[in-house]
Amino acid sequence: MTTLEEAAETEEDSTCLYVTVYHPSQAANKIFSELSFKHRYKLKAHHQVMFGRDCSICDFNLVDNRASRIQFALQFFRHFGSLEYGFEIKNLSKKTKLTVNNVELAYLNKADLPGNCTVCFGDYQILLQKQGRPSEDYFEIQFELAKASLLEEKSLGSHLPVPEHGLACTESPVEIDENEWGRSQKR
């Protein structure tokens, strides 16, 4: 790949997108075997970075027949009227919806990525974290492999509240209209 260069630590600080990946069968199936972990990739600012299973098109390959040939793309950009840089993600899979922090993106939908977000499709979980200073000429990507589910780590602190008296309610709330609620209160 001519647009993708593996770079050693750079003297100039630039925007780096830290990409932590997880898949439940990553150990057995070597899904991420084509990614180089703990290395930074230096890319030109105008380059659209493609992820998917087609190694002739994609910059970063997923070794999985369930992944689309081109799953999604990331584009580095500068916000209009600002010196702040960011990334946008575009779903390029016709078969699989992509979610960014639980917001669903269908085929060809795109969204700005917050500085820290979780991207999911199929069984894939990807944590994206933007750090560093802006550079007009390039940005960097560094991969890391998660040992456990990224979604479970996020939800560890979200247990049901324990009431002071009585039993905890584990049922989901039910929506009813005003008239139905009024009738149930008169009974």
3-state secondary structure of 118: strand
Strand-pair partners of 124: 121
Say what the pLDDT of residue 105 is.
96
Question: For 123, what's the count of Cα atoms within 13 Å in the CB-facing half-sphere?
Answer: 11
Spatial CA neighbour of 90 closest among 115, 70, 108, 69: 108
Say what the pLDDT of residue 7 is.
43
Q: What is the CA radius of gyration of the chain?
A: 21
Say what the pLDDT of residue 61 is.
96
3-state secondary structure of 34: coil
9 Cβ partners below 8 Å, 6+ apart?
40
Q: Which two tokens stand for residue 59?
A: 């910059």
Positions in the chain whose pLDDT score sits under 70: 1-12, 153-187
How far apart are alpha carbons 127 and 88 in whole angstroms?
Answer: 14
Q: What is the pTM of this model?
A: 0.74
CA 96 distance to own-chain centroid: 14
Map out the domains of the chain with their CATH numbers.
4-155 (2.60.200.20)
Say what the pLDDT of residue 187 is.
57
